[in-house]
């Protein structure tokens, strides 16, 4: 088993609708929103954590595989899979790894190899930050929401949710390790990115939040396209 190459996928991740990835409620701010977005501790600008991208892509690929479980797929699910599904699950494990709860022996660990995908945190692009600063605008917006009482028709329980607005641009990047003699995992990665475009990132996706596009996608500096239909990949 030999590492032969590390590919880099990069793109401009553009928000089609407002995005909310929550910062938690560990702090209380007078006059603050009910649901603040995650911000960088130094720049205080919103960013996309690589863990959110990784978790979303893995979840969608696991659903696509048909082997989805309440917990992330692991070695036990791989051993139980049959037919074509076995290879699909194995590719997911090679890309994303297994949890610490999977106790692999040396032969199993060698068969699986190291986790192939590494996700980077995505900062706001410098160009978009400059446009916002030049226009004297904010990096986030606050969206007011409520619940409608089905009987009275009256709005109840108002709440404010902070979002990164539509049009915001982030620098997206991930790396893909390639080992000698193994099948090409790039089609699975590209299918996963397309699934994210078709679904959403962050919270409240069913209410229209978190729609994104990967613009100007490149593999090692060369243009590459996402599949039109990820279910055929």
- Give kind and range of the element (H or E) at residue 48: strand 47-48
Indicate the burial class of 93 (C-beta count within 10 angstroms; 0-12, 13-18, 19 or more).
Answer: buried
Q: How far apart are CA 217 and CA 205, in angstroms?
A: 23
Q: To the nearest whole number, what is the mean pLDDT of the chain?
A: 87
Q: Report the pLDDT averaged over residues 118-130.
A: 96
Residues 6+ apart with CB under 8 A from 141: 18, 162, 163, 164, 165
> What end-to-end distance do the CA atoms of the chain give, in Å?
26
pTM above the 0.85 mark?
yes
Q: Hey, is 223 helix, strand or coil?
A: strand
**pLDDT at res. 100:** 63
Q: What angle do CA 9, 13, 15 make, to 5 degrees?
A: 160
Name the DSSP class of 156. Answer: E
**pLDDT at res. 199:** 95
The percentage of residues in the chain with a pLDDT greater than 70, rounded to a whole number, is: 91
**pLDDT at res. 81:** 76
Q: How far apart are CA 146 and CA 160, in angstroms?
A: 9
Distances (CA, A) of 224 to 12, 121, 186, 187, 214: 13, 21, 11, 11, 11
> Can you spell out the DSSP letters for 163-221?
EBPTT-EEEEEEEEEEETT----HHHHHHHHHHHHHS-SSS-GGGTTT-EEEEEEEETT
- pLDDT score of 32 more than 90: no
Domain ranges (residues) in the chain:
3-232
Interval 63-122: pLDDT, tens: 998 888 777 777 777 767 778 888 888 899 999 988 766 777 777 778 778 899 999 999
**pLDDT at res. 24:** 64
- pLDDT score of 38 more than 70: yes
Q: Report the pLDDT averaged over residues 30-43.
A: 76
Q: How far apart are CA 68 and CA 89, in angstroms?
A: 9
Contact assessment for residue 172 and residue 214, using Cβ atoms and an 8 Å cutoff = yes
Interval 138-157: pLDDT, tens: 998 888 776 777 777 677 77
Contact assessment for residue 208 and residue 214, using Cβ atoms and an 8 Å cutoff = no
- In the chain, the largest separation of any two C-alpha atoms, in whole Å, equals 67
């Amino acid at each position: 088993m030999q590492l032969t190459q590390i590919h880099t996928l990069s793109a401009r991740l553009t928000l089609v609708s407002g995005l909310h990835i929550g910062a938690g409620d560990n702090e209380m701010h007078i006059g603050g929103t009910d649901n603040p977005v995650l911000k960088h501790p130094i720049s205080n600008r919103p960013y996309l954590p690589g863990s959110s991208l990784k978790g979303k892509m893995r979840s969608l690929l696991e659903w696509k595989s048909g082997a989805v479980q309440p917990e992330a797929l692991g070695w036990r699910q791989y051993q139980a899979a049959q037919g074509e599904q076995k290879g699909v699950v194995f590719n997911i494990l090679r890309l994303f790894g297994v949890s610490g709860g999977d106790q692999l022996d040396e032969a199993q660990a060698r068969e699986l190899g190291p986790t192939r995908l590494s996700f980077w945190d995505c900062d706001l692009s410098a160009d978009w930050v400059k446009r916002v600063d030049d226009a004297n605008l904010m990096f986030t917006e606050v969206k007011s929401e409520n619940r409608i009482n089905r009987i009275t028709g009256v709005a109840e329980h108002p709440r404010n949710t902070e979002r990164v607005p539509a049009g915001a641009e982030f620098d997206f990047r991930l790396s893909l390790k390639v080992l000698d003699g193994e099948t090409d995992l790039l089609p699975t990665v590209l299918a996963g990115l397309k699934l994210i475009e078709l679904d959403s990132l962050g919270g409240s996706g069913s209410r229209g939040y978190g729609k994104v596009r990967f613009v100007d996608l490149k593999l090692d500096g060369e243009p590459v396209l996402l599949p039109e239909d990820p279910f055929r990949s």
